[in-house]
Amino acid sequence: MFPRPSVWFIRVSLIYLMIGSSLGAILMLNKAFNLDPEIWRYLPLHYSILIWGFFIQLIMGTAYWMFPKFLSEKPRGSTWQVWFLFYSYNSGLVLFLITKFIFPFEFLVLIGKFLIFLGLITFIKIAWSRVISYNQ
């Protein structure tokens, strides 16, 4: 059965894909029709949304589902760690994207980066413990 955290990671990644693709479409329309040259300042936002929002979360959701399972009653380990990863990563990403590209405030950018980092470290811990051993 497909685990619920994987479902949510993939759902949210597809939302980021729609947002990033829409922003990319606006950028391409601007390239074709020269609407406003200020739109190009959102190019880093476009690829940040697609890489960090869509691609990385799709990988994390798929990896959580597909990595080897433990031989115990909790085959994927502690669920609170995965939900901590989900909320930490997504809240950090939203905070980073808003404060970096829309309302610049350097301290909140650092908090967003820290939350993303904390989520990625949690993912590495979860994945590594499942890769290293089948005996738990």
pTM (two decimals): 0.89
What pLDDT score was predicted for residue 59? 97
Which residues, in sequence order, are CB contacts of 83 under 8 Å at separation 6+?
A: 5
Q: What integer pLDDT is reported at residue 54 of this predicted model?
A: 98
pLDDT tens, per residue, the chain with 136 residues: 789 999 999 999 999 999 999 999 999 999 999 989 999 999 999 999 999 999 999 999 999 998 877 767 777 778 899 999 999 999 999 999 999 888 889 999 999 999 999 999 999 999 888 887 655 5
Q: For residue 75, what pLDDT is reported? A: 78
Which pLDDT score is estimated for 100? 87
What's the pLDDT score for residue 134? 56
Residue 135 is predicted with a pLDDT of 53
Give me the CATH code for the 4-132 domain, please: 1.20.120
Enumerate the domain spans of the chain. 4-132
Residue 101 contacts residue 47 (beta carbons within 8 Å): no
Q: Which of 23, 12, 11, 18 is nearest to 47 (CA)?
A: 23
Three-state SS for 53? helix
